[in-house]
């Protein structure tokens, strides 16, 4: 998709917040463009633990945040029902949780407007037998799990329906100021290197943990305190409901069932650079030992992978002490009007949570609209988003039913863990092409189940190559997107292969980053077996040591 020449507002950042801002702007009649340096939902949004907050985690220390969560929880259930699994949640008082917190919990929920019921522990244990039998009290709250990529896709679809556009792989590299206003923003296409300029009346930065880097382009200081949160993916759902410890939020105190797996969160460690951090074994050990207070058998359960996201925490820098935990910083968001720093048409939205992204967008656009003289009110809480018509999230059973019903030669199961068949991948490719294999993963959950892509990544790569070759055979032309690497390879086949290579070696290497800190027991065995297959039988090392293609895996986005 071409970069527009002039827009009302340029939104930076393709996470949930940026998508929400673009949608809200579009619905208020402001023709806008969103630019994202990578793919949508690859930053903090795509690396979070899957929780739709009830607000219960914040009732003790931040009642405003708690109230925002419960309000937005209700809104999201209405506008994005297909992205949410209504698992329900429980706050459980383990023997390690302080009495005063537990006793005040109900009252605090009441004060924050968070719905709750105290349930009998025996009933809870009957429902969730993996829980600690020594739990003393339990409160039911309307937590859930939420699928971020589908949510972003729906949100952007609504924005597009209202005349706006969104571009992936476009990095903001410069801002021109005329007087005290940004007049022009310079973008670089990360795949082609092509530089383009957009005239804009207003700029909204929804770059999250990267907001400081963006603001610096307009000579504005925004001090972010990126907080790394490490999470562990377990190979099964040991609980069908979200489980929280009933205490002041800390490490390893929440388990969220997400599709076929369950995710234990989190740690919170200040990191200097949101792009550079690693997961340590010490963090994993701490998460598991804390998590075992909720699920005593946790140390014997199988971890598939560790991963981390970076929270976009904001606080004036004086309060941030390096190396100290971040949990006291507000999760609530802030809208920074940079007119205070001498740039009239530039706002950053920082902090916040996925659950409140729509509210953050609304409040941001209220500020922007007022400054631009637009009086249309916000309507984003009212209608169901496009693509959410199913009204409920799918379970594996739904997929199995579809698969059985469809049958047919095109329905080969490519991903046995998540029941993704060829028809689903073909449909995704038909509607999203050109796209990367990693996009297919986010779009269909192929490779997100217990085998973590070991047996399906090469199948998707094979399918993509087959389609590309069919296109070339039928038309005599390189497949769309292939022009990006003209001059870099001996032919289209080499390009198709490079795409597959990147997906495979990238998959194995990326996955390894997440399995290395948890390589114990069965998972170390699995790691050795996967390496044995990929190196021993499939010779992946011969491809990994090939000269790096001149473009990255996402080259196929070029024609989007």
Partner 1 sequence: MPHADVVVIGAGLSGLVAAARLAETGATVTLVAKGHASTHWGAGGLDVAAPVGAGTPAEGVARLAAEDHPYSFLGPDVAPSVAWLLERLEASGLPYAGTLDTPIRRVPTAIGGTRRVAIVPAAQAAALRPWDRDELLVVAGPAGFKDFWPAAIADSLGRESVWQGADRPSHVTGVSVELAGIADRNNLNAMHLARRFDDPAQRADDIGRFAAAVRKAAGGRPGRVAVPAVFGLGEHAEAWEELRARLPLEPFEIPLVPPSIPGMRLWHVLRERIRAAGGRVQIGEAVHRIHVEGGRVIAVEMEAAARTHLIRTEALIMATGGLAGGGLVATGDGHIVEPLLNLHVDAPEHDAWLVADALDPSGHPIEAAGIATDAGLRPLAHDGRTVALANVLVAGALLAGQRSLRERCGDGIAVASGWRAANELATDAARTPIGREPLAVRTDQ
The residue from 422, 441, 442, 502 that contacts partner 1 (CB under 8 A) is 422
Q: Does 199 bind partner 1 (CB under 8 A)?
A: no
Q: How far apart are CA 553 and CA 440, in angstroms?
A: 13
Return all residues near 260 (Cβ < 8 A) that are at least 6 apart: 236, 237, 396, 417, 418, 448, 449, 450
The residue from 317, 319, 407, 488 that contacts partner 1 (CB under 8 A) is 407
- Minimum distance from residue 42 beta carbon to partner 1 (Å): 20
Q: How far apart are CA 138 and CA 94, in angstroms?
A: 9
H or E segment and range at residue 90 = strand 89-93
Q: How far apart are CA 183 and CA 181, in angstroms?
A: 6
Q: Where are the alpha helices (DSSP H) in 130-259?
A: 148-161, 211-216
Q: Residue for token digits 């991963």?
A: 307
Q: Does 516 bind partner 1 (CB under 8 A)?
A: yes
The residue from 344, 366, 541, 552 that contacts partner 1 (CB under 8 A) is 541
The residue from 403, 441, 445, 557 that contacts partner 1 (CB under 8 A) is 403
Q: Does 485 bind partner 1 (CB under 8 A)?
A: no
Region of 47-55, 165-173, 257-265, 507-515 interacting with partner 1 (CB under 8 A): 507-515
Size of the site for partner 1 (CB under 8 A): 64
The residue from 122, 173, 390, 528 that contacts partner 1 (CB under 8 A) is 528
Region of 139-147, 205-213, 315-323, 543-551 interacting with partner 1 (CB under 8 A): 543-551
Q: How far apart are CA 403 and CA 401, in angstroms?
A: 5
Closest C-alpha among 533, 534, 555 to residue 543: 534
- Minimum distance from residue 459 beta carbon to partner 1 (Å): 5
Region of 13-21, 91-99, 104-112, 530-538 interacting with partner 1 (CB under 8 A): 530-538
Q: Does 163 bind partner 1 (CB under 8 A)?
A: no
- Minimum distance from residue 499 beta carbon to partner 1 (Å): 9
Q: Which of residues 285-304 bind partner 1 (CB under 8 A)?
A: 299
256 three-class SS:
strand
Longest dimension (CA), the chain: 73
Residues belonging to the chain: 560
Q: Which residues pair with 12 in a beta bridge?
A: 35, 205
Closest C-alpha among 409, 394, 529, 510 to residue 457: 510
Q: Which residues pair with 421 in a beta bridge?
A: 413
Q: Does 413 bind partner 1 (CB under 8 A)?
A: yes
Q: Does 537 bind partner 1 (CB under 8 A)?
A: yes
Q: Does 493 bind partner 1 (CB under 8 A)?
A: yes
Strands (E), 412-506: 413-415, 420-421
Closest C-alpha among 332, 291, 359 to residue 49: 291
The residue from 111, 321, 477, 538 that contacts partner 1 (CB under 8 A) is 538
Q: Does 466 bind partner 1 (CB under 8 A)?
A: yes
Q: Does 368 bind partner 1 (CB under 8 A)?
A: no
Site for partner 1, rule CB under 8 A: 299, 403, 406-414, 421-422, 455, 458-459, 461-466, 468-470, 489-491, 493-494, 496-497, 500-501, 504-505, 508-509, 511-512, 516, 519-521, 524-525, 528-529, 531-533, 535-547
């Amino acid at each position: 998709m071409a970069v527009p020449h002039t827009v009302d507002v340029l939104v930076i950042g393709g996470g949930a917040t940026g998508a929400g801002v673009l949608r809200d702007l579009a619905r208020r009649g402001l023709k806008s463009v969103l630019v994202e340096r990578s793919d949508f939902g690859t930053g903090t949004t795509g690396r979070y633990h899957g929780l739709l907050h009830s607000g219960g985690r914040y009732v003790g220390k931040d009642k405003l945040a708690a109230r925002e969560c419960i309000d937005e929880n209700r809104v999201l259930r209405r506008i994005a029902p297909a992205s949410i699994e209504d698992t329900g949640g429980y706050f459980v008082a383990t023997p390690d949780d302080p009495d005063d917190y537990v006793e005040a919990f109900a009252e605090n929920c009441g004060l924050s407007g968070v719905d709750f019921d105290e349930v009998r522990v025996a009933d809870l244990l009957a429902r969730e037998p993996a829980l600690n039998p020594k739990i003393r009290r339990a409160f039911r709250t309307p937590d859930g799990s939420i699928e971020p990529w589908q949510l972003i896709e729906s949100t952007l679809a609504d924005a597009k329906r209202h005349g706006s556009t969104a571009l992936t792989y476009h990095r903001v590299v410069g801002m021109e100021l005329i007087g005290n206003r940004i007049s022009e923003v310079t973008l670089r296409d990360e795949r082609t290197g092509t530089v383009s300029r957009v005239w804009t009346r207003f700029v909204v930065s929804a770059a999250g943990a990267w907001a400081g880097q963006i603001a610096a382009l307009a000579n504005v200081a925004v001090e972010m305190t990126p907080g790394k949160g490490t999470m562990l993916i377990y190979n099964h759902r040991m609980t069908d409901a979200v489980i929280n410890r009933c205490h002041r939020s800390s490490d390893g105190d929440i388990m969220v069932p997400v599709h076929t797996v369950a995710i234990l969160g989190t740690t919170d460690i200040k990191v200097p650079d949101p792009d550079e951090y690693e997961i340590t074994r010490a963090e994993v050990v701490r998460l598991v030992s804390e998590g075992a207070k909720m699920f005593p058998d946790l140390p014997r359960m199988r971890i598939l992978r560790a991963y981390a996201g970076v929270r976009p925490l904001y606080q004036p820098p004086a309060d941030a002490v390096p190396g100290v935990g971040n949990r006291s910083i507000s999760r609530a968001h802030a809208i920074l009007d940079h007119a205070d720093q001498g740039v009239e048409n530039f706002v950053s939205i920082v902090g916040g949570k996925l659950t409140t992204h729509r509210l953050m967008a609304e409040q941001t656009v209220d500020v922007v609209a007022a400054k631009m003289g637009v009086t249309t009110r916000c309507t984003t809480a009212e209608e169901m988003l496009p693509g959410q018509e199913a009204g409920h999230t799918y379970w594996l059973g739904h997929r199995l039913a579809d698969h059985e019903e469809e049958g047919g030669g095109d329905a080969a199961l490519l991903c046995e863990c998540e029941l993704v068949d060829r028809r689903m991948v073909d449909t995704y490719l038909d509607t999203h092409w050109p796209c990367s294999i990693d996009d297919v993963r986010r779009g269909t959950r192929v490779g997100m189940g217990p085998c973590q892509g070991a047996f399906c990544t090469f199948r998707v790569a094979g399918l993509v190559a087959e389609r590309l070759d069919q296109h070339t055979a039928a038309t005599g032309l390189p497949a769309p997107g292939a022009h990006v690497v003209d001059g870099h390879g001996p032919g289209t086949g080499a390009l198709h292969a490079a795409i597959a290579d990147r997906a495979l070696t990238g998959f194995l290497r990326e996955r390894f980053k997440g399995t290395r800190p948890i390589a114990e027991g069965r998972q170390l065995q699995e790691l050795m077996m996967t390496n044995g297959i990929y190196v021993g039988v499939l010779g992946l090392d011969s491809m990994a040591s090939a000269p790096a293609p001149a473009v990255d895996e996402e080259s196929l986005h070029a024609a989007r």
